[in-house]
C-alpha cells in the first residue's frame, strides 16, 4: 500500500482531482474493470471505497483517482509519494460483464470519468464499437481525455460552462447520438443526478444501461448493509451485489438521501481540520 506516485490531474474551483498509484501486487493481479478497493488513509481514518482505474500486473500497482469531496478524500489528496496507506483491501464487488455487445456508449461525468475508463478499455478490447461522452464543469476539471480517446471510436466532450468541447450536459449529447444511431449497451458513472438523467434518456431508446453506484460503505464486504440500495423494488447491497446495477431500476432519490446521512458531520470534521 505504498504510494508509488501521485499526480494532480486537476485543481480548480476548490476541487482537486488526484491520481494515486499504489503498490499492491495481489490486488493488481486480480483486479478487473468495474471493481473497487476499500482504503483507510490513517489508523484513525474511515474506510472509503474507490474504483480501481487501472492495474499493472508487471509493476504490481493499481491506480486510483479521487476528487476532493469530504474529509477522507481531502486527506487522501494530501498524501505524498512514498507514504503508506494504513489499509487497502480488494478487489471488491463484481467485475463489469465484459463481452461483445456490439455498440457500446459510455458516459462519464466529473470524477466518474475515471471510473468509465477501465470499462471503456475492456469494452474496446472485447471488440465493441465504443463511443464515449465525458463532461465536467469546466475545461480545468476535465480528466483522462487523451486516455479515453485512445480506447474509444468516438469521443464527445461537454463542459457546463462551454470552456471546452461543447457547452451543456452529457445527457444532451447522449440524446442527440441515440436519436441518430442505435446502441446495444450503455454504461454511465458520475454524480447521482447525472446517472439518473442518463437512465431517463437511455430508457426512451430502450438501451440497457449499467451504472456503478457510489453508496456509502464501511467494510465493503457485505457485512454492514450501509450501502443498501433499492433496485427493482428489492434491497441490494452495493458492495457485494453491485456496484453495478441496471440504471432504470435504481431508486435514485433514496440513494441521494442515504448518501447525505453524514453531511453535517462531514462539514464539521472538515472545518475542524481546515480542509
Partner 1 sequence: MKKKPVSVKGQDKNLRVKSFEEVVLGFSEAEVLEEASRCIQCKEAKCIPGCPVGIDIKTFIKRLTLKDYAGAYSTIREKNNFPSICGRVCPAEYQCRRACVFTKKGEPFASQDAINIHFLERFAGDYGAKNKIIVKADSNNKLSKFKVAIVGSGPAGLCCAGELARGGVKVVVFEGLHKTGGVLRYGIPPFRLPRNILDFEIDSLKELGVEIRPNYIIGKAKTIDELFAEGYSAIFLGLGAGIPSFMGIPGENLCNIYSANEFLTRVNLMSAHKFPEYHTPVNIGKHVVVIGGGNTAMDAARVAIRLQNMNGIISDTTIAYRRTEIEMPARRLEIEHAKEEGVKFQMLVKPEEFIGDDNGFVTKMRASRCELGEPDASGRRRPVIIPGSNFEIDCDIAVVAVGLGANKILTSVTPRIVTDKYGDVQVNPETMETSVKGVFAGGDIVGGEGTVIEAMGMAKKAAVSIIDYLYYRWPDP
Angstrom distance (rounded) from CA 204 to CA 75: 41
User: Where does this chain touch partner 1 (CB under 8 A) — which range of 89-97, 135-143, 145-153, 187-195?
Assistant: 89-97
Angstrom distance (rounded) from CA 35 to CA 211: 13
Short-list 217, 218, 216, 212, CA closest to 231: 212
CB 138 within 8 A of CB 164: yes
Short-list 249, 263, 248, 239, CA closest to 47: 239
Binding residue (CB under 8 A) for partner 1 from 13, 150, 206, 260? 260
C-alpha cell at 118: 477501465
Query: Per DSSP, what are the bridge partners of residue 51?
Result: 36
Binding residue (CB under 8 A) for partner 1 from 58, 180, 272, 274? 272
Binding residue (CB under 8 A) for partner 1 from 34, 90, 110, 165? 90
Angstrom distance (rounded) from CA 76 to CA 142: 20
Binding residue (CB under 8 A) for partner 1 from 69, 192, 224, 275? 224
Angstrom distance (rounded) from CA 75 to CA 36: 19
Reduced DSSP (H G I as helix, E B as strand, rest coil) percent helix, strand, coil of the chain, to 5: 30, 35, 35
| Contact status: 71 vs partner 1 (CB under 8 A) | yes
Closer of 138 and 218 to partner 1 (Cβ) = 218
| Contact status: 47 vs partner 1 (CB under 8 A) | yes
- What is the nearest approach in angstroms of partner 1 to the Cβ of residue 161? 30
Closer of 180 and 234 to partner 1 (Cβ) = 234
| Contact status: 162 vs partner 1 (CB under 8 A) | no
Which residues form the interface with partner 1 (CB under 8 A)? 26-27, 30, 40, 42, 44-47, 71-72, 75, 86-92, 218-219, 221-226, 228-230, 235, 237, 240, 253-254, 257-258, 260-262, 265-266, 268-269, 272-273
Amino acid at each position: 500500500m505504498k504510494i508509488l506516485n501521485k499526480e494532480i490531474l486537476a485543481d480548480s474551483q476548490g476541487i482537486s482531482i488526484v491520481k494515486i498509484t499504489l503498490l499492491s501486487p495481489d490486488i493488481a493481479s486480480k483486479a478487473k474493470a468495474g471493481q473497487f478497493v476499500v482504503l483507510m488513509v490513517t489508523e484513525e481514518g474511515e474506510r472509503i471505497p474507490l474504483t480501481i482505474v487501472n492495474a499493472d500486473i508487471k509493476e504490481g500497482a493499481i491506480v486510483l483517482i479521487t476528487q476532493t469531496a469530504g474529509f477522507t478524500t481531502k486527506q487522501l489528496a494530501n498524501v505524498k509519494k512514498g507514504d503508506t496507506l494504513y489499509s487497502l483491501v480488494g478487489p471488491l464487488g463484481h467485475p463489469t460483464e465484459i463481452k461483445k455487445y456490439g455498440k457500446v456508449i459510455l458516459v462519464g461525468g466529473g470524477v466518474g470519468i475515471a471510473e468509465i475508463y477501465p470499462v471503456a478499455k475492456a469494452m474496446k478490447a472485447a471488440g465493441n464499437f465504443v463511443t464515449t461522452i465525458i463532461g465536467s464543469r469546466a475545461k480545468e476539471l476535465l480528466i483522462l481525455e487523451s486516455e479515453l480517446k485512445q480506447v474509444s471510436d468516438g469521443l464527445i466532450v461537454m463542459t457546463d460552462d462551454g470552456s471546452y468541447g461543447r457547452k451543456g450536459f452529457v445527457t444532451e449529447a447522449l440524446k442527440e447520438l441515440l436519436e441518430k444511431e442505435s446502441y446495444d449497451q450503455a454504461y454511465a458513472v458520475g454524480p447521482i443526478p447525472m446517472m439518473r438523467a442518463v437512465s431517463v434518456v437511455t430508457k426512451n431508446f430502450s438501451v440497457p444501461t449499467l451504472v456503478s453506484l457510489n453508496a456509502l460503505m464501511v467494510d465493503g464486504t457485505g457485512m454492514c448493509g450501509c450501502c443498501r440500495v433499492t433496485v427493482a423494488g428489492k434491497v441490494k447491497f452495493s458492495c457485494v451485489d453491485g456496484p453495478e446495477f441496471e440504471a432504470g431500476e435504481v431508486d435514485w432519490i433514496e440513494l441521494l438521501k442515504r448518501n447525505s446521512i453524514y453531511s453535517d458531520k462531514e462539514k464539521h470534521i472538515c472545518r475542524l481540520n481546515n480542509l
